Amino acid sequence: MSHYFTLVDCNNFYVSCERVFNPALCGKPVVVLSNNDGCVIARSNEAKALGIRTGDVYFKIKPFLKSKGVYVYSSNYTLYGDLSQRVMDVLRQFTPDIEVYSIDEAFLKAEYIYGGNRPQCLKAIGARVKQWTGIPVSLGAAPTKTLAKVANEFVKKDPCYQGVLEIGPDSDIDSFLKELPVENIWGVGRRYAQLLRSNGINNALALKNTSDDWVQKKMTVTGLKTVWELRGRSCIALEDVPSSKKSIVSSRAFGKEVTSLAELKEAVANYTDTAVRRLRSQRSLASFIAVFVSTNRYKDSAQYSNCLSASLPEPSAYTPEFIKRALSLLESMYRRGYSYKKAGVYLMDIVSDSQQQRSFFKSDNERIKNKALMRVVDRLNRHWGDGAVGLACRGVDRKWRMRQAMKSQRFTTCWDELMVVK
């Protein structure tokens, strides 16, 4: 049986989210910034047309943005995450064979949904997502995931496709591949693109026609899979059950530089809390924690960075235990006299909480008590909003918190921030 993958990709997702709640932004140049308002991570088509690129540093292009009347937003992940879920829910109405690949992309499989007239069906999917969520999407369909990505590239580039393109057995795949620069292939990043170009391989068609041996030697089996997928042989399967994370990181750059141990402790306690909460939300336990800090590497001041780690006697998801460890690691690596710009926490050696290895030193009683406590805390925070309940060491002022000067409201997830109809 031949495979068929459809990639549904939200157009300029973060910008589209902002536009859902502020339609006046439609047709205007809009950008969304990364955490801490550091750089541009999403642009509307109008902003792209002005030459603004992903990664442009905000403070450097601020005057330019102002002169062009560009609307600027801090990122609002609560809003984007919620709209993402709504988009995925709509897609699930069409098929259970769906892989949510990222916040703004999903692969669909299920040949059967595409009945007789496939392009019509794809169009219907796009139309329903747009109608029910306000988010415009592009659909690319093909026999492999990599080719579905290719199709999507063309859809987004050329309005003549009206949001839908299928490149399949009957269409001339090669004519598309020939037009696709090597760096736009899924799985080919900056490094491999350089390597390929220096070997005269400039477009996807040329890569498709490169020998397996060469590709495997230079780009490992991952590269080989990409090439096979370009040839129409499906190597990357649909992962319809989300796998649980094998590592969890929580880190942020600070809104201002931090010098005192007390403030660093607050920050690290917060990041640990976030990380362990994510750990619990996927029903896992971790037995390894690492803490890192660093100064601002873009500044010409004294530099210091360090990372220390510790193993726990047994896998756990009990926040106070992790915070205690994290803070003691932090104390050992803290050096006075530096301006810290960033800190973070890693959790690793993650296992499912159903396969817990027990150590001798903790009673079952204590384990059960801790677990119950965490369950209550999670429930309260879910119900009353983040931060409703937490450890005091997480701090109250949080002066170190990131800059988000231009954030829109959490229209869909926070009672206090609902849209007001006048």
Give the nearest distance from C-beta 308 to DNA in angstroms. 12
Give contact residues for DNA (rule: CB under 7 A).
34-36, 38-41, 54-57, 101-105, 149, 185-193, 220-222, 243, 245-253, 274, 278, 297-298, 342, 344, 402
Q: Which is nearer to DNA, 52 or 377 (CB)?
A: 52
Give the nearest distance from C-beta 369 to DNA in angstroms. 27
Tokens 């001798």 belong to residue: 360
Q: Which is nearer to DNA, 8 or 25 (CB)?
A: 8
Using alpha carbons, select from 38, 40, 34, 71 the residue that is nearest to residue 54. Answer: 40
Give the nearest distance from C-beta 37 to DNA in angstroms. 8
Give the nearest distance from C-beta 105 to DNA in angstroms. 5
Residue 342 φ then ψ, to 5°:
-155, 150
Give the nearest distance from C-beta 170 to DNA in angstroms. 26
Give the nearest distance from C-beta 112 to DNA in angstroms. 27
Backbone φ/ψ region at 349: left (φ over 0), alpha (ψ -120 to 50), beta: left
Q: Report yes or no: 58 and 75 within 8 Å, Cβ to Cβ.
A: no
Half-sphere exposure of 226 (CA within 13 A, CB side): 25
Q: Which is nearer to DNA, 245 or 367 (CB)?
A: 245
Q: Which is nearer to DNA, 98 or 121 (CB)?
A: 98
Q: Which is nearer to DNA, 114 or 208 (CB)?
A: 208
Give the nearest distance from C-beta 230 to DNA in angstroms. 13
Give the nearest distance from C-beta 60 to DNA in angstroms. 8
Q: Which is nearer to DNA, 121 or 248 (CB)?
A: 248
Give the nearest distance from C-beta 26 to DNA in angstroms. 22
Q: Which is nearer to DNA, 254 or 411 (CB)?
A: 254
Q: Which is nearer to DNA, 205 or 224 (CB)?
A: 224
Locate 109 and state its tokens: 């499989």
